[in-house]
Chain A
Amino acid sequence: MATVREKGYSHWDGRLTDRRFPWWPITRTGIQLAFKKKTFRFFFAGAFMPAFFALGGLYVSERLEDFKALVRSNQALLHINPNYFKVFLTSSFLLFFIILVLAFAAAGLIADDLKHNSLQLYFSRPIGKKDYLLGKMSVIAFFVLALTSLPWLILVVFKLIFAGSFKFLVDYPWLPLSIIGYSSLLTVFFAFYILLLSALSKNTRYVMILIFATYIFSDALSGILGSIFRTPYMALFSIRANLQQAGAFLFGQKLPVAVPAVWSFAVLAGICLLSAVVLNRKIRGVEVIK
């Protein structure tokens, strides 16, 4: 026996049953709605700052003597000058976080296109390889600049406001250029670095691991070779060390490793060149079946 049902508004036709905790969907939805708002997320995260400071205090209290020694030996950190900016902008912590953000946001930029055979779709439009790569690199540029030049240029402004004069800028007029120059260096390098690794696999998970593993392994290798050969030139194997060398040069500060900065620039340029070669081979509008 065939039955014909009336098509109508998609209202659920089943019978409602009692919930054990009838208030729970309201609570859950309210929390979810709050987290949908960006401003809320920002303030919510900020609200944890005192807790983090308190946690820091707890840690310091356990190692009070060590910290006193640290402050005594690093009083220079309390002087606001280009070195202050260089220390923070070239810190391993910031570089690690940039890698983390990019692994999350950019690992699939090319990998996903390879996985879904989307390159042919891109190149069937009136865009060329350059446009495609520029578009992808701009994604990376957005995140890197948001984490480097934007906050640190704002901090220069805050310094001027807190000081109530332009003296700081008169003393160090090239500081904003150093910040922009170093941010640009990071942007260009990371754009090539991330896209190189993203183009090597269709699996985004694997690319994320490659991004981290290559970065960290380069550091480990540099350390191992340094302890074997006992020469500072082994630092050139480390991506982090090269970026810090280049940063110190751009801020006009003492180089962290006793190696001319030109070598670090050369290593970074070499990685960018390798990336350009690989990207030129991998990004094409036709699929090659072996």
Chain B
Amino acid sequence: MSVRGSIREVFGFFFSIGRRTGKTRVFALLGLIPVALAIIVRIVLHGRSGDIAAVFTEILMVFFLQFYIVILALFYGTSVTAEEVEGRTLSYLITRPIPKPAIVLGKYGAYTLLMFVMVAVSLALSFFIMNVARLSQPALYAKFLHYLGVLGLGILAYTAFFTFLGAFLRRAIIVGLIFGIGWENVIQYFPGSTQRFSIVHYLKSLLPYRPMAGGGRGVALLLFRLEPTAPLVAVLALAALAGAFLALACWLFRMKEYLYED
């Protein structure tokens, strides 16, 4: 079977398993929280569409960008390898006539699609509930697709990184959590080019940004200072990061031996 065919079969196999596990249901339910919040916001801020729009951009998008997709990518990304080793099912896969990188790429593809569907549904419901008064405006749909695109890129990049971590480290979750929850947040306070050593920097560069009014002296160092990268460069950087980490993950998976804990 060709490499492409192998990837396709692995994708189909794990997409069908992944969509019915209990954990997928839990993560999908987590995605309903912004929907619930959107409903609450609509009730509380009824008639104040400007405030509603601000709540979505500055609050809910932060939830999606810095929490939901990170947690999803961390779990599913590390699961690409770790799940097979912990569950001792790796033997079934590597004794099939499929190249090892096809297992990584197929599983990555399956889980990425699964996550994208969860995020898309959650985003769509919360966004359109928040903006129900403006459904006739075409610009609204362009905005939605823009947000969805940014989150999609985030899913691709984060999942690729965590797939690499999962292939490389035994205890990938801890490092992943420190990166996703710690580094990705803390690095945004750092000056100069330091911010470019994070994935969230490029994602935020693709979103509308409002610089602090008046410079905010006295508390400025406690505030996030985005020095955005140009959108095209940000997209290319995210694609390159995803590609590089996936390639590394494939190489590691091919070269490493994974021993079961007895």
Q: Do A and B touch each other in the complex, judged by CB within 8 A?
A: yes
Known: A73-B218, A228-B55. A209 touches B173 (CB 8 A): yes
A205 touches B173 (CB 8 A): yes
Instruction: Check: B181 CB closer than 8 A to any chain A CB.
Output: yes
Tell whether, in the assembled complex, residue B192 and residue A66 are in contact, meaning their CB atoms are under 8 Å apart: no
Q: B218 to A66, Cβ gap below 8 A?
A: yes
Chain B proximity of A6: nearest CB distance (Å): 29
A174 proximal to B (CB < 8 A): no
Query: Are A212 and B23 touching (Cβ within 8 A)?
Result: no
Pick the interface stretch among B5-13, B36-44, B107-115. B36-44
Q: Determine if B190 is an interface residue (Cβ-Cβ < 8 Å).
A: yes
Chain B proximity mask over A194-219: 1 for CB below 8 Å, otherwise 0: 00000001010110110011001100
- List CB contacts (< 8 Å) of A227-276 with chain B: 227-229
Known: A224-B60, A227-B55, A228-B41. A62 touches B74 (CB 8 A): no
Contact B59 A209 (CB under 8 A): no
Contacts of A73 in B (CB 8 A): 218
* Contact count band on A: 20 to 34
Does A65 count as interface, using CB distance less than 8 angstroms? yes
Q: Give the CA-CA distance A196 to B33 in the complex, in Å.
A: 21
CB-CB nearest in chain B for A206: B23
Chain B residue at minimum C-beta to C-beta distance from A69: B218
Map CB proximity to A onto B47-90 as digits: 1 under 8 Å, 0 otherwise. Answer: 00000000100011011000100010011001100100010000
Which one of A59, A66, A208 lies within 8 Å of B173 (CB-CB)? Answer: A208
Q: How far is the CA of A122 from the CA of B192 in the complex (A)?
A: 56
Report Cα–Cα, A103/B74, bound state, in Å.
Answer: 15
Q: In this complex, what residue of A is CB-closest to B60?
A: A224
Complex Cα spacing A220 to B63, Å: 7
- Known A224-B63, A228-B55; judge A205-B44 contact (CB<8 A): no
Q: Tell me how far the C-beta of A218 lies from the nearest C-beta in chain B, rounded to whole angstroms.
A: 11
Q: Please, how many angstroms separate the alpha-carbon atoms of A229 and B30 in the complex?
A: 21
Taking A66-B221, A103-B174, A228-B55 as contacts, is the C-beta distance between A209 and B75 under 8 angstroms? yes
Q: Say if the beta carbon of B220 comes within 8 Å of chain A.
A: yes
B96: Cβ under 8 A from any A Cβ: no
Say whether B86 contacts A216, CB under 8 Å.
no
Task: Decide yes or no whether B236 CB sits under 8 A from chain A.
Answer: no
Interface of A is mostly: helix
Chain A 47-73 interface mask (CB, 8 Å, partner B; 1/0):
000000000000100110111011001
Q: Taking the complex as formed, is B217 at the interface, i.e. its CB lies under 8 A from any CB of chain A?
A: yes
Alpha-carbon distance between A223 and B86 when the two chains are bound, in angstroms:
36
Residue among A96, A201, A220, A224 with the highest chain B CB neighbour number at 10 A: A224
- Bound Cα distance from A98 to B82, whole angstroms: 25
Q: Known: A63-B191, A206-B23, A217-B67. Is A100-B178 also a contact (CB below 8 A)?
A: yes
Query: What residues of A have a CB within 8 angstroms of the CB of B44 in the complex?
Result: 228-229
Contact A209–B218 (Cβ < 8 Å):
no
Cα-based distance from A114 to B75 in the complex (angstroms): 20
Task: Return the contact of A103 from the options B40, B75, B177 (Cβ within 8 A).
Answer: B177
Distance of B181 from chain A, by nearest CB (Å): 6
For B41, the closest partner residue in chain A by CB is A228
Does residue B45 face the partner (Cβ distance < 8 Å to A)? yes
* Cβ-defined partner of B190 (8 Å) among A59, A221, A227: A59
- Contacts A63-B191, A206-B75, A228-B44; A220 near B82 (Cβ below 8 A): no
Chain A residue numbers with a CB within 8 Å of B171 are: 104
Specify which chain B residues have a CB less than 8 angstroms from the CB of A104 in the assembled complex. 171, 174
Which residues of the other chain, B, contact A100 by a CB distance below 8 angstroms? 174, 177-178
Q: A66-B218, A203-B86, A216-B181 are in contact. Are A209 and B67 (CB under 8 A)?
A: no
Interfacial chain A residues near B182, Cβ < 8 Å: 96
Q: Which residues of A contact B60 (CB under 8 A)?
A: 224
Residues of B within 8 A of A62 (CB): 191-192
Q: Which 9 A-B pairs have the closest CB atoms?
A: A66-B221, A69-B218, A208-B173, A62-B191, A224-B59, A63-B221, A213-B71, A205-B173, A212-B177
Besides A208-B174, A220-B62, A228-B59, 11 new A-B residue pairs in contact (Cβ under 8 A), listed by A number: A66-B220, A104-B171, A203-B86, A205-B75, A205-B82, A206-B75, A209-B74, A212-B177, A224-B63, A225-B40, A228-B45
